[in-house]
Structure 1
Amino acid sequence: MRSPWADRHRGSVTAEFAVVLPAVLVVLTLCLGAVQVVGQQVRLTDAAGSAARLLARGESPARAAGLVDGLGLHATVAAEPVGEFVCARLSAPSGFAPFAAAGLTLGARSCALAGLP
């Protein structure tokens, strides 16, 4: 014998799951995208340091841009002399498409003492 209560609530778990699942997937996707963007920022910061050291040794900005492109970062490189330092400023759009569509641009800057080998 089945209770009338069980018949009234039959399928409610399935309906609740169908409502909650898309929201959970969106939140999970955004969290994974944020992790990807943080990883890209770390790589960009490391590349800025390498580019600044190249520029400080007297290499051309084109060579520093080649180094950055060789690392797989599609970033723009700008050299900035600041006193006795040479700074490299890198900027790149987010590698995660939804964030890039929203206009998220990542940037990194690093400086090195000019003229050292």
Structure 2
Amino acid sequence: MEPVEINAGGWYLRALRADERVDDRPALADGSITDPDHVQRSHAAWKSDEQYTWAVCQPNTGELLAEVLLTPDGEEAVLTGWARDGHDDALESGSAAVTRFAEGALGFTVRR
């Protein structure tokens, strides 16, 4: 599957990026994710349906505030994530939006 963007009201969820316009790697480092290939692996996981990853972003700037991951496991999917300091609200809202998408559009039962 190709990455799916989600508008979650006060937050915008999109695929991770590391290109000439947006580089999420410095924000990912705040979550102790320092692997330089994390973004590339995230895109590969989308295409192979192994895991779906969203950057939960501030809609005006596109700054990554949290990351939500959905890992399929049969008819279920496991939801995990983390937030940068002070942005637990972004993680909570992003997780709720991904849960609705996973259950409504993909037919998964989501567990945390």
Q: TM-score, normalised by structure 2?
A: 0.28
Which protein is richer in helix relative to its size?
1
Which protein is richer in strand relative to its size?
2
- Which has the larger Rg? 1
